[in-house]
C-alpha cells in the first residue's frame, strides 16, 4: 500500500508524527477509497472536498463513519463549512472570515 499524503493536515494539542485530521480536495483523481490508506495510518478524522461539497469521516471501532459534525472541531458541521468555502467565489475573504468566526461564537 503506497503512502498517502493529505492535501492539508492538522494535529491538535501537540506535535505528532501523524495528524489528527486530514483534508483531501478531489478535483480529477482520488476518492473515498483513500480512506483505506488513512485507516492504516489511524488518522482520526478525514474530510473530503468534492463537487463543492464537504464530507466528514471519523474513525471509530476500526472503520470510518460519515458524520455531520467534525469530532476534532465539534463546532463545525460539514454543511455550514461548505457554505463558507463556496462563498469564496463571490465574496470578500474578510467578510467570509468575519461571518465564520461569528458563527463559531
Q: Say if residues 1 and 40 touch (Cβ distance below 8 Å).
A: yes
Residue 2 lies in a domain: no
CA angle, 17 as apex, 12 and 21 as ends, to 5°?
40
Give the domain extent around 70.
8-74
Residues 6+ apart with CB under 8 A from 43: 6, 9, 18, 19, 20, 21, 22, 59
Residue 64 lies in a domain: yes
Residue 12 lies in a domain: yes
Report the number of distinct structural domains present in the chain: 1
pTM: 0.81
Residue 83 lies in a domain: no
pLDDT in tens, the chain (105 residues): 455 678 888 898 888 888 999 998 887 666 778 888 899 889 999 999 888 889 999 999 999 999 999 999 888 898 888 888 888 889 999 999 998 888 877
Amino acid at each position: 500500500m503506497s503512502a498517502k499524503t493529505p492535501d492539508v493536515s492538522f494535529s491538535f494539542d501537540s506535535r505528532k508524527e501523524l495528524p489528527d485530521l486530514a483534508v483531501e480536495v478531489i478535483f480529477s483523481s482520488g476518492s473515498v477509497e483513500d480512506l483505506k490508506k488513512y485507516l492504516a495510518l489511524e488518522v482520526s478524522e478525514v474530510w473530503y472536498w468534492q463537487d463543492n461539497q464537504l464530507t466528514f469521516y471519523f474513525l471509530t471501532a476500526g472503520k470510518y463513519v460519515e458524520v455531520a459534525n467534525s469530532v476534532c472541531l465539534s463546532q463545525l458541521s460539514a454543511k455550514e463549512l461548505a457554505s463558507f468555502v463556496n462563498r469564496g467565489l463571490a465574496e470578500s475573504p474578510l467578510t467570509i472570515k468575519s461571518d465564520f468566526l461569528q458563527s463559531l461564537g
